Amino acid sequence: MQSKQKITRDITDCADCPLRVNEYFRTFTRRELDFMREFKVGEFHAEPGTGIIGERTTAPHLYTVLDGWAFRYKTLADGSRQILNFALPGDFIGLQTSMFGEMDHSVDALSPITLCVFPREKIWELFKNHPELAFDATWLVAQEEKVLGAHLTSVGRRSARSRIAFLLLHLYGRCEALDLAGSNRMKVPFNQQHLADLLGLSLVHTNKTLKRMEASKLMSWQKGTVRFLDRDTLAEIAEFYEPASSPRPFI
């Protein structure tokens, strides 16, 4: 499960962090930058399908996604899987181990992914000496909670069609902010099974609904690229409201 993973010390300096060139993220002070450079102990690369952290395990590390996609999920006894959310660049992974000692879900790489690695025990130092970063950490967790609430609402109360529309619009918003999408086009590394497992649907029904949405010229999904053909109607179907974007912190 961890065969294709490797931690490397051949890392990008936080000062040259490729994420920071994006105005989506807030800027660091010099002092914060110095701390982060010390906090970061390495980088971690994983290929699609490999596990990053396992449910009910503990890990000595925390991660920030530097590049690529991952997904967080829970597995039930009958083998079915509920995907909780996708993790994109800037997202934090594994804070649960710092808070509760172990994860209550797993995280796998969805695309080739690069993670910044931080030692778990130093999280306390962050809280103690860098209240701004501590605030950011809380912000990130709260953001994650918000997204889970949105997904819960989708799965609990929306139709298959509406769930799909909502999720794709949601992802488009996130990707757009990261310059990973634009002009109503978005490259996605997941397949229909992932989509079904996130939306609480079966693969077959997901596929049929998707086909119907393509037939009605709402969207298309080919070769890993999603195109929005009628975003207004999709937003209406999904009851999706563009969230006001505030400058996003990250760690």
**Binding status of residue 61 toward a second copy by CB under 8 A:** no
Are 240 and 170 contacting, i.e. CB atoms less than 8 angstroms apart? yes
**Binding status of residue 109 toward DNA by CB under 7 A:** no
Distance between CA atoms of 150 and 79, rounded to whole angstroms?
25
Distance between CA atoms of 170 and 235, rounded to whole angstroms?
10
In the complex, least distance from residue 15 CB atom to a second copy, rounded to whole angstroms: 25
Residues 176-195 that bind DNA (CB under 7 A): 191-193
Which residue stretch of 62-70, 108-116, 131-139, 222-230 sits at the interface with a second copy (rule: CB under 8 A)? 131-139
**Binding status of residue 217 toward DNA by CB under 7 A:** no
Distance between CA atoms of 160 and 205, rounded to whole angstroms?
8
**Binding status of residue 7 toward a second copy by CB under 8 A:** no
Which residue stretch of 17-25, 28-36, 70-78, 226-234 sits at the interface with a second copy (rule: CB under 8 A)? 70-78
Distance between CA atoms of 120 and 169, rounded to whole angstroms?
34
CA nearest to 250, candidates 23, 26, 18? 26
Are 166 and 219 contacting, i.e. CB atoms less than 8 angstroms apart? no
In the complex, least distance from residue 67 CB atom to a second copy, rounded to whole angstroms: 24
- Selected from 1, 21, 142, 204, the binder of a second copy by CB under 8 A is 142
Distance between CA atoms of 216 and 164, rounded to whole angstroms?
14
| Residues with Cβ within 8 Å of residue 121, at least 6 apart in sequence | 60
Nearer to a second copy, 6 or 100 (CB): 100
Choose the one of a second copy, DNA, none that binds residue 138, judging by a C-beta under 5 to 8 angstroms depending on kind. a second copy
Nearer to a second copy, 92 or 221 (CB): 92
**Binding status of residue 121 toward a second copy by CB under 8 A:** no
**Binding status of residue 165 toward DNA by CB under 7 A:** no
Enclosing H/E stretch for 222: strand 219-222
Are 38 and 129 contacting, i.e. CB atoms less than 8 angstroms apart? no
Are 122 and 39 contacting, i.e. CB atoms less than 8 angstroms apart? yes
What is the total count of residues that contact a second copy (CB under 8 A)?
47
**Binding status of residue 3 toward a second copy by CB under 8 A:** no
Are 172 and 229 contacting, i.e. CB atoms less than 8 angstroms apart? no
Main-chain dihedrals φ then ψ at residue 176, nearest 5 degrees: -60, -45
Where on the chain is the footprint of a second copy (CB under 8 A)?
72, 74, 76-77, 80-82, 84, 95-96, 99-101, 104-105, 124, 127-128, 131-132, 134-135, 137-139, 141-146, 148-153, 155-158, 199-200, 239, 243-244, 246
**What is the binding site for DNA (CB under 7 A)?**
159-161, 191-193, 200-211, 223-224
